[in-house]
Structure 1
Amino acid sequence: MNIIEKTYNWNGSLKNRTSTKRIILHHAESKSCTADDIHSWHLANGWAGIGYHFFVRKDGSIYRGRPENVIGSHAKGSNSDSIGICFEGSYMTETMSQTQINAGRELVTYLKNKYGISKVQKHKDVCSTNCPGTNFPFGAIVNGTVATAPAPSQTSTAKPTSNEKVTGTYEVTASDLSVRTGPGTGYRRKRHDELTKDGQKHDKDKDGCLEKGTRVTVYEWKNGWARTPSGWLCGDYLRKV
């Protein structure tokens, strides 16, 4: 599992957490945002900065928020002994992709094993809120249960609608889409200098991610991932043009 480290400018000091007994899950309540966006929002609240310890993006990238050993600011009354994980998206209305579910499940399993804990809660379990939303796949992330889609009819003559069999030009729809060395979140994100020259032009943050609106040529599809000149991209965030 790859956790992307971030450097934040904190407003004041952070206090160490003396115990870790549980994990609390949240959604950002924003269909598209970054860890830096959340940091800015939480600073505007008068907090020290991003209140979550981890942020899981829709493309499966996992970002560090607050240092893992300090008290978060994500669930009032329950911060002193918990780790907060936030998922990009608004899961009152959206449905989470399997890519993001897999990343969240891997992170939760890692933290359970690291701290020897089993208790995982939703934000709404401890506070008066609807977070992380009625569509949030809590069981799939925490217990590893994934609903199985019905098999397609053997007699269907309709053409497949999946983009996986179509190569050509696509446009990035996510605000920041990771470029990986292989088709999946298990592969590391590429460095800025590993992208093509054109890819580097569309990675202004120099973090190995292509910006929204970037056009790429897809040469191959594999398990929902697209091979492009710079590397592999999650197909959930590519639109055929």
Structure 2
Amino acid sequence: MNIIEKTYKWNGKLSNRKSTNRIILHHAESKSCTADDIHSWHLENGWAGIGYHFFVRKDGSIYRGRPEGVVGSHAKGSNSDSIGICFEGSYMTETMNQTQINAGRELVTYLKNKYGISKVQKHKDVCSTNCPGTNFPFNEIVNGTVATAPTPTPTPVAKPATSGKATGTYEVTASDLSVRTGPGTNYRRKRHDELTADGKKHDKDKDGCLERGTRVTVYEWKNGWARTPSGWLSGDYLRKV
């Protein structure tokens, strides 16, 4: 297995990870991007730089992200003991090709053997997100088996409230809900400094996400996404109040 080494300019100091107990898998939410693109996006979020330790492209090439032994920035609350792997693509709508699946499987197997671990999770197992997407071939990558059907998406708490597409006041039900520049996960997450003054008050981590319980005014609905003063929010995690 060949890992392509990269040199990045970091914004601040990286901290060493004290333990490695699991691997967390992600998708980039972009149909075409590079490790340098992700590094730039994460710098815009105010982070030190690319938050994943590895990036697997559609052609099967594997790129180094953060140094393997440092704490990542890819799964809030679960970074201190995990390695993050991101796959190029948007697997809510796309289907992963076999070359990328094989590369991901080889990388996961290598890391499991290296650290003596067996626990591999999806990003959505530890955070309120749909990452790495319902079409992500988790079983094929982790266990070498073909999934007979996409992993079902849990029924969102706020779905009944948003089905009518009513405007008005809503409450955030997710622990950390990304604010996007447009109505969909293909739009980038906003930076903390791009939020309204009220939005900033409810983004104490300064990561461009609103905390659970934040109340927002919805002006417009589009494809299940709500336009608010700070930006676009997924309607799956909003409850009408």
Is the TM value for this pair above 0.5?
Answer: yes
Q: Residue 79 of structure 1 corresponds to which residue in structure 2?
A: 79
TM-score (norm: length of structure 2):
0.61
* 1:112 and 2:120 matched: no
Measured in 1, the distance between the counterparts of 2:119 and 2:147 equals: 22
SS of the residue 1:106 aligns to: helix
Matched pairs, number: 148
In the TM superposition, 1:9-28 aligns within 5 A as: 9-28=9-28
String of CA shifts for 1:129-169, please: whole Å, max 9, x gaps. Answer: 00000000000000001369xxxxxxxxxxxxxxxxxxxxx
In the TM superposition, 1:84-99 aligns within 5 A as: 84-99=84-99
Measured in 1, the distance between the counterparts of 2:103 and 2:146 equals: 13
The one-letter code sitting in structure 2 at the alignment partner of 1:41 is W
Aligned CA RMSD, in angstroms, stands at 1.0
User: Is the radius of gyration larger for structure 1 or structure 2?
Assistant: 1
1:104 positional shift: 0.1
Structure 1 unaligned blocks of 5 or more = 149-241
The one-letter code sitting in structure 1 at the alignment partner of 2:83 is I
Structure 2 unaligned blocks of 5 or more = 149-241
Measured in 1, the distance between the counterparts of 2:44 and 2:17 equals: 23
Q: Residue 53 of structure 2 corresponds to which residue in structure 1?
A: 53
Give yes or no for contact 2:137–2:147 (8 Å, CA) kept in 1: no
Give yes or no for contact 2:19–2:81 (8 Å, CA) kept in 1: yes
String of CA shifts for 1:43-76, please: whole Å, max 9, x gaps. Answer: 0000000000000000000000000000000000
1:33 positional shift: 0.0
Measured in 1, the distance between the counterparts of 2:55 and 2:23 equals: 13
Measured in 2, the distance between the counterparts of 1:112 and 1:125 equals: 18
The one-letter code sitting in structure 1 at the alignment partner of 2:76 is K
SS of the residue 1:96 aligns to: coil
Question: Which 4+ stretches in 1 moved above 6 angstroms?
Answer: none
String of CA shifts for 1:170-209, please: whole Å, max 9, x gaps. Answer: xxxxxxxxxxxxxxxxxxxxxxxxxxxxxxxxxxxxxxxx
1:5 positional shift: 0.1
String of CA shifts for 1:204-231, please: whole Å, max 9, x gaps. Answer: xxxxxxxxxxxxxxxxxxxxxxxxxxxx
Q: Percent identity?
A: 93
Q: Residue 194 of structure 1 corresponds to which residue in structure 2?
A: none
TM-score (norm: length of structure 1):
0.61
